[in-house]
């Protein structure tokens, strides 16, 4: 007997949910074959993937275009690097006047030195009258016409040879040789000559080979590259105490401006840091650009006083209530936002308008056109408007603009400390100007080869800028420092002593 065969169960049709974004009616979707439903779902997912990729590529293209369009008005690049198509300030139309001083202008003449400052006075007097030929007596006429001629004497280095004689005792036969007297340097070059060489390489940024040629042409001194390097090392060692004195003054200052730029030490990437206060300017070359460098330079003084800087994250170790953010960087950022076009372009234009109004108000306060109370009352609504525009920027569809506006808002209190803290400027220009000489040095030397060269750079820059702040002659200070180091004397103080 054949076994009974049971009924075959019907195959269940899988139910697929239509993508909600397509808006397909449920009854139409149920009538669609399953195979077609699967194709529709797969195509829809593929379209979503392609849309996401297109958005990513659009952001990438926008970022590359913004990077390509960088210039001195929307970034920290120098004006000399601007391409030819960048709009430059319009030149004034020709006035039709001849170049030089115009007729009727007050003019200027070289001031004559006083009699105490003149090295020699040569009197010239007539001996007879031009009209009748009678003999003349000097002193009974009007004051003489003074004319001074400034000339350099021929410079020639003096070479002093010291001979240490040895004498044999007739009694015991022992030989005794003379000792070096005090005041004679063990180096082949005196303190003044070493200071001059350091001045040429460290202040006027002459190459060592140029200094070799200059010394031979002007002083009649033959130098080697090794001799110049050795002099630089001795100068760096001699300036260790004045260098520490400058940084100690920076740590106790109430306001400092800080900045950094790239540097190369050998084959390694390094960073040149600068700090500026009313009393001193200090430079330091470090291997990193992070907050640990600030801790090493300022220590516990990071918790006191105010710091002016840009928005680099290393400076976030300082409380926002004690920081001043550079508004020159903000201005460039607002231009960058405007150039991204669309809604971001309108937002950038609004930010620039408010920012320009703030600087116009600041200019009026500096000129004395408005008092402090009126300045503060007019500044408050401008601060509020800028804050509103930045808040709108955080909701922009452009990811880059959202990040920039959010970063500026995170520095909120630091944006306005310049309006309340005496000595805190709205820009970081004072630090950037101090770095400019270092950047020129870097361009010509491509950095330093060894740590000893870096010590010479940072200490020479520190002493040069600090002496300039106090109106001191750099050559005299360098000569005093190297002389003190040679003869084991106390180093001269870099900062002026307080009046007693």
DSSP 8-state secondary structure symbol assigned to residue 315: G
Selected from 2.30.30, 2.40.30, 2.60.40, 3.30.420, the CATH number assigned to the domain covering 235-323+429-486 reads 3.30.420
| Joined tokens for residue 12 | 């269940």
Helix/strand number for the chain, H first, E second: 14, 7
Select from 275, 241, 270 the least CA-distant residue to 451: 270
Q: CB–CB of 388/344 below 8 Å? A: no
Please calculate the CA angle 428-429-435 and round it to the nearest 5 degrees.
100
> Could you report the per-residue pLDDT of 213-265, keeping only the tens digit for each?
999 999 999 999 999 999 999 999 999 999 999 999 999 999 999 999 999 99
Q: CB–CB of 283/297 below 8 Å? A: no
Predicted pLDDT of residue 99:
77
| Mean pLDDT value of segment 175-185 | 84
| Mean pLDDT value of segment 346-356 | 92
- pLDDT band for 30, please (50, 70, 90 cuts): confident
Q: Find the range with the poorest average confidence among 8-17, 163-172, 289-298, 471-480.
A: 8-17
DSSP 8-state secondary structure symbol assigned to residue 217: I
More confident residue, 66 or 468: 468
Whether residue 490 is predicted with pLDDT greater than 60 in this model: the reply is yes
Predicted pLDDT of residue 280:
95
Q: CB–CB of 348/339 below 8 Å? A: yes
Determine the Cα–Cα distance for residues 12 and 14; give it in Å rounded to an integer. 6
Determine the Cα–Cα distance for residues 499 and 321; give it in Å rounded to an integer. 33
Q: How far is CA 15 from CA 29, 32, 34, 36, 92, in A?
A: 10, 11, 8, 12, 77
Predicted pLDDT of residue 354:
92
Q: Find the range with the poorest average confidence among 87-91, 196-200, 221-225, 301-305.
A: 87-91
Query: Given the structure tokens 């940084």, which residue do they identify?
Result: 247
| Mean pLDDT value of segment 119-145 | 87
Whether residue 158 is predicted with pLDDT greater than 80 in this model: the reply is yes
* Domain boundaries along the sequence of the chain: 235-323+429-486, 327-419
Question: For residue 264, what is the enclosing H or E element?
Answer: strand 255-265
> Could you report the per-residue pLDDT of 411-436, keeping only the tens digit for each?
988 999 998 899 999 999 999 999 99
Q: CB–CB of 281/259 below 8 Å? A: no
């Amino acid at each position: 007997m054949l076994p009974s065969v049971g009924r075959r169960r019907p195959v269940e049709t899988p139910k697929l949910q239509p993508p909600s974004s397509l808006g397909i009616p449920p009854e139409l979707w149920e009538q669609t074959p399953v195979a077609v439903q699967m194709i529709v779902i797969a195509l829809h997912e593929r379209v979503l993937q392609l849309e996401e990729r297109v958005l990513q590529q659009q952001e990438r293209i926008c970022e590359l275009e913004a990077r390509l369009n960088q210039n001195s008005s929307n970034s920290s690049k120098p004006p000399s690097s601007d391409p030819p198509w960048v709009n430059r300030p319009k030149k004034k139309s020709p006035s039709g006047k001849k170049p030089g001083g115009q007729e009727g202008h007050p003019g200027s003449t070289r001031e004559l030195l006083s009699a105490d400052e003149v090295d020699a006075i040569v009197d010239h007097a007539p001996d007879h009258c031009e009209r009748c030929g009678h003999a003349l007596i000097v002193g009974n006429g009007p004051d003489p016409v003074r004319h001074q001629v400034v000339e350099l004497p021929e410079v020639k280095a003096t070479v002093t040879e010291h001979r240490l004689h040895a004498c044999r005792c007739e009694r015991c036969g022992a030989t005794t040789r003379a000792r070096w007297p005090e005041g004679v340097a063990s180096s082949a070059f005196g303190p003044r000559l070493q200071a001059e060489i350091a001045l040429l390489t460290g202040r006027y940024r002459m190459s060592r080979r140029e200094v070799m040629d200059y010394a031979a042409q002007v002083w009649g001194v033959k130098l080697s590259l090794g001799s110049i390097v050795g002099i630089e090392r001795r100068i760096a060692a001699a300036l260790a105490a004045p260098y520490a004195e400058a940084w100690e003054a920076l740590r106790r200052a109430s306001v400092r401006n800080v900045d950094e730029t790239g540097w190369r030490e050998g084959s390694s990437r390094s960073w040149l840091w600068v700090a500026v206060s009313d009393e001193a300017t200090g430079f330091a070359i470090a291997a990193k650009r992070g907050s640990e460098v600030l801790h090493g330079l300022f220590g516990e003084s990071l918790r006191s006083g105010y710091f002016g800087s840009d928005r680099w994250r290393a400076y976030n170790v300082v409380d926002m209530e004690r920081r001043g953010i550079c508004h020159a960087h903000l201005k460039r950022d607002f231009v960058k936002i405007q150039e991204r076009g669309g809604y971001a372009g309108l937002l950038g234009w609004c930010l620039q308008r408010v920012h320009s109004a703030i600087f116009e108000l600041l200019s009026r306060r500096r000129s004395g056109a408005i008092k402090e109370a009126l300045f503060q009352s007019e500044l408050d609504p401008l601060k509020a408007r800028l804050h509103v525009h930045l808040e709108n920027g955080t909701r922009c569809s452009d990811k880059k603009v959202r990040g920039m506006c959010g970063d500026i808002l995170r520095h909120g209190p630091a944006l306005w400390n310049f309006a309340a803290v005496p000595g805190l400027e709205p820009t970081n220009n004072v630090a950037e100007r101090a770095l400019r000489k270092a950047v020129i040095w870097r361009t010509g030397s491509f950095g330093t080869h060894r740590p000893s060269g870096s010590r010479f750079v940072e200490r020479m820059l520190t002493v040069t800028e600090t002496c300039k702040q106090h109106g001191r002659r750099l050559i005299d200070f360098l000569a005093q420092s190297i002389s003190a180091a040679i003869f084991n004397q106390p180093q001269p103080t870099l900062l002026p002593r307080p009046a007693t």
